Amino acid sequence: MTITYADFEKVDIRVGRITRAEPFPEARKPAYKLWVDFGPEIGERRSSAQITKHYTIDQLVGRQVLGVVNFPPRQIGPVKSEVLVLGLPDAEGEVVLIGPGHEVPLGGKLF
């Protein structure tokens, strides 16, 4: 499927910092609840992510990540997910988070 650059511009991908992470025992697959700060323009958003294979809670808090901030909220069990945190699968299919290689201002838009 081919998309235009205008289509790509509709996806609002921003950098945020994980400020809080908790176990998500109600999830069907092992996951964490996440709170991600996208700076003053967007604020903090909640999400959940199946990233328990590569990350502990201590490794997540303070980490910068990329997320899609303009999807409608989605109910995932008892959690209302307000952002899609982005990652790529490793060789075994486990999610590896995507983030900037250097510290950047929160809320910065991917282009």
The domain in which residue 61 lies consists of: 5-97
Q: Quick check: is 78 in a domain?
A: yes
Q: Does some domain include residue 64?
A: yes
pLDDT of residue 77: 87
Position 26 in a domain: yes
Please list, in sequence order, all residues whose beta carbon lies within 8 angstroms of the beta carbon of residue 111, skipping any fewer than 6 positions away: none
The mean per-residue pLDDT over the stretch 67-79 comes to: 94
Query: Domain count of the chain?
Result: 1
The sign of the torsion formed by the CA atoms of 23, 102, 44, 84 equals negative
CATH number at residue 59: 2.40.50.140
In the predicted model, is pLDDT for residue 24 greater than 90? yes
Cβ distance 32 to 19 under 8 Å? no
Calpha distance 43→28 (Å, rounded)? 28
Task: Output the CA–CA distances (angstroms, integers) from residue 91 to 14, 29, 51, in the order listed.
Answer: 26, 19, 14
* Assigned domain for 33 exists: yes
What pLDDT is stored for residue 105 in this prediction? Answer: 98
- Among 53, 56, 45, 54, CA closest to 22: 56
Does residue 51 lie in a domain region?
yes
pLDDT (average), residues 41-65: 97
| Residue 20 in domain | yes
Instruction: Note whether residue 102 is domain-resident.
Output: no
Q: What is the mean pLDDT of the chain?
A: 96
Q: Cα-atom radius of gyration of the chain, to the nearest Å?
A: 14
107 in a domain, yes or no? no
Does pTM top 0.85 for this prediction?
A: yes
